[in-house]
Amino acid sequence: MSNVRKAHAWDQAGFDAERNLQVIGLGKRTSFALVAGDGLDVSFEGDDCLDHTVGTGDDKGLHGNSALSGWEKQQILRRVDVKAKALGTTVMHAYFQGSDWIAPLTIRVVSDQQNRQVGKSVGEVTSALRDELQKLSLRDAVIRIAEDQMNSAIASQSNGFGVYNIAANYDWCGAFAYWCWEQACSIKSVSNPFGPKNSVLWSPQRAISYAMLDTTPVQLLRYSGYDPMGVVKDSSTGKFKKQDYRDFGYNGSRLERGDIVLYRKSTSNDWKHVCLVHDQMPPISGMLGTIDGNQGSNACIQTRKRDMDAKVAGGDSCLVFVHAAI
């Protein structure tokens, strides 16, 4: 079946294959490969926002694309080049005998040069994505924003150091998780359960300290011990507060999409990472899907699988959770 792929494996910035959506910054160029495109009539629903050139025959230069399957490399590959010239949205069609022969490709031109719909400033979002987010639950909106960033140039061509309201010399995994919550709450005009300061998620230790406060609308799960920051005290005794172990089900708490995941590696104090629950229906055992900032050799944004049952030396859970009680 005919389909559309990016022309080059290295040029994936802004492309969301799941939604068949290309987000592109104003003035930028990108290219597509129309797979099995011989005889298809390519057109755009109004092209005021971009210039385009559609090849008429097989482009031999596209067949070396490592992202293509073996079957796709055997097909006629027509090249489609576009340049973003004005803000707006268009849809590319490829017709055969008057019928759509590919899933229509939406191309959205945005002002952000990182090919993302949610920009750096709080509440900075395209009107199209704002409308989409308003129809989602707050948790789904958090993850939709995280996915927008994952598909951007930050994930494929640069990195997130200094992007998510934290200094460029700091690891930014927790700042990214907070930023996604902050943007979603601002866009949907609701209170952020993680408060007004992004520093509460800069590290697992800071997240635990925040969650142990009696005044916060979050629940710390699968953790026992004292505040690793040495700040939180028991309001009745004045002594440093100790958290008893609490598992899913405590006071009705359950793991949900968008909750915060804190990862430690080998010992109870070996804290490494902060990320978000990505799964729509998270498990309480087995493998958990997360979406993570500051990952891989390029310090980008990725989805990962993490073992809910893994333990550190001594038997404590590798994964600790901060559940937003919203």
CATH of the domain at 291: 3.90.1720
- What pLDDT sits at residue 159? 82
Find out whether 81 and 37 touch, Cβ atoms under 8 Å.
no
Q: CA 107 to CA 201: how far, in whole Å? A: 34
The SS3 assignment for 208 reads helix
Q: State whether 244 and 137 are in the same domain.
A: yes
Structure tokens at 173: 């995994």
Question: Is 71 found in the same domain as 146?
Answer: no
Residue 118 lies in a domain: no
Q: How many domains does the chain contain in total?
A: 2
Q: Where in the sequence is the domain holding 300, given as residue range(s)?
A: 127-324
Is the same domain home to 228 and 295? yes
The CA dihedral of 108, 111, 116, 119, to the nearest 10 degrees, is: -140
Does residue 159 share a domain with residue 40?
Answer: no
Residues 65 and 190 in one domain: no
Give the chain's residues under pLDDT 70.
Answer: 157
Among residues 110, 135, 150, the one where a domain terminates is 110
Q: What is the pLDDT of residue 172?
A: 95
Closest CA relative to residue 194, chosen from 255, 260, 256 = 260
Chain-centroid distance of CA 288 in Å reads 16
**What strand order describes the sheet that includes 287-295?**
218-221, 319-324, 260-264, 271-277, 287-295, 300-307
Q: Provide the 10 A C-beta neighbour count for residue 162.
A: 13
As a whole number of Å, the CA-based R_g of the chain is 23
41 located within any domain: yes
Q: Which of 110, 138, 162 is the last residue of a domain?
A: 110
Would you say residue 232 lies in a domain?
yes
Query: In the numeric block, which tokens belong to residue 91?
Result: 């849809």
Residue 184 within a domain: yes
Where does a domain end: 54, 80, 110? 110
Q: How far is Cα of residue 37 from the mean position of the Cα atoms in its chain?
A: 31
3-class secondary structure, 66 = coil
**Judgement on whether residues 145 and 104 belong to the same structural domain of the protein:** no
pTM, entire model: 0.94
